Amino acid sequence: MAGILSLLLAAASPALSAQAAPPPPAPAAAPTAAPTIGYVDQADLALSAPVAAIVTIDRATRLRDARATGVAAGSTRFYVEADVATLLKGTGGLASRVTYLVDVPNDARGRPARLRDRRVIVLARPVPARAGELQLVAADAQIDWTPANEAQLRAILTAAAAADAPPAVTGIASGFSVAGTLPGESETQLFVQTADRRPMTLSVLRRPGETVRWAVSQTEIVDESAAPPPRDTLLWYRLACGLPRTLPPTIAAGADAERIAADYQVVLDGLGPCERQRDESETPTPAQSG
């Protein structure tokens, strides 16, 4: 009897041990790849482009001599024929097959890049009276497609199409600063000039013993819910890339000019730099000639 009981316990032990063992840890999630183009650079291109589309290149013909005038050293101009996969922006639609010219950097060996079957994002304008023919808004307005590049572009276009989309910022119109009842307490408000004259207000609040707080409101009144814009959003882009680095003389020369200038610097520091990696002098790629 004792021998049978020992055998039963021995047989049961592995099963009990397996039940008590903790489950293996879940595999770590793969990191999400970042966009290959910065937010500012993509916003510059997207906001200036009447057409944004994801296309697959079917043919890419290398152009030479007179048809490649102005191509930068180390690049090659191609005549591209591509099939449209997704139209992200474009009034009046777009043909299912498009053509355009593009200048592409050569590969590491100095040879023209291979474009056929490549999926890309194009930011362009339609050529008048030529269905399906596009002109890139800049020489680098063909961007490699990645999920992250597409997601960032969609976010920019969605924000720009919203009814409350922040307008382009053109300067600072006026401002004032009021001292509080306690030493070191003050509030500054700056009224932002915008391209369509819609209101936008910056406020900076100082209180003794507290961190200086600033906020932006897309109205003339700054309420308690106002806050700084998150980085890499359209409102952040409008401010970071549109505000002047210094205040206009009419504001900088007032009685509270020193405090206003200091508070304006708080806003600029909070926004951070408008970082562009691409050449701001990029010009549109030439349209195809008849």
User: Which tens digits make up the pLDDT trace of 73-108?
Assistant: 999 999 999 999 999 999 888 999 999 999 999 999
Q: Which residues pair with 172 in a beta bridge?
A: 192
Return the amino acid letter for 235: L
pLDDT tens sequence across 246-266: 999 888 776 789 999 999 999
Going across the sheet that includes 201-206, the strands are: 169-179, 186-194, 201-206, 213-217
Per the confidence metrics, is the pTM higher than 0.85? Answer: no
Phi, psi of 30 (to 5 degrees): -65, 135
Using a 10 angstrom Cβ sphere, with 0-12 exposed, 13-18 middle and 19 or more buried, the burial of residue 128 is exposed
Q: What is the pLDDT of residue 255?
A: 73
- The architecture of the domain spanning 39-161 is Beta Barrel (2.40)
pLDDT of residue 213: 95
Task: List CB contacts of 177: < 8 A, sequence separation 6 or more.
Answer: 186, 187, 188, 189, 256, 259, 260, 263
Work out the pLDDT band at 269, boundaries 50, 70, 90.
very high
Pairing of strands 142-144, 169-179: unpaired
pLDDT given for residue 169 in this prediction = 97
Per-residue confidence (pLDDT) for residue 282, from 0 to 100: 59
Q: Tens digits of per-residue pLDDT, 114-130?
A: 999 999 999 999 999 99
Q: Is the pLDDT of residue 281 over 90?
A: no
What is the domain partition of the chain in residue ranges?
Answer: 39-161, 169-271
- Given a contact cutoff of 8 angstroms between Cβ atoms, the answer to whether 53 and 122 are in contact is yes
Q: How confident is the model at residue 279 (pLDDT cuts 50, 70, 90)?
A: confident
Q: What is the pLDDT of residues 143-182, one digit of tens each?
A: 999 999 999 999 999 999 999 999 999 999 999 999 988 9
| Residue found under tokens 């944004």 | 52
93 φψ region: left (φ > 0), alpha (ψ -120 to 50), beta (else):
left
Neighbours of 105 (CB within 10 A): 12
Is the model more confident about 4 or about 237? 237
Instruction: Report the chain's terminal Cα–Cα distance, integer Å.
Output: 101
Residues 6+ apart with CB under 8 A from 12: none
The confidence score (pLDDT) of residue 219 equals 85
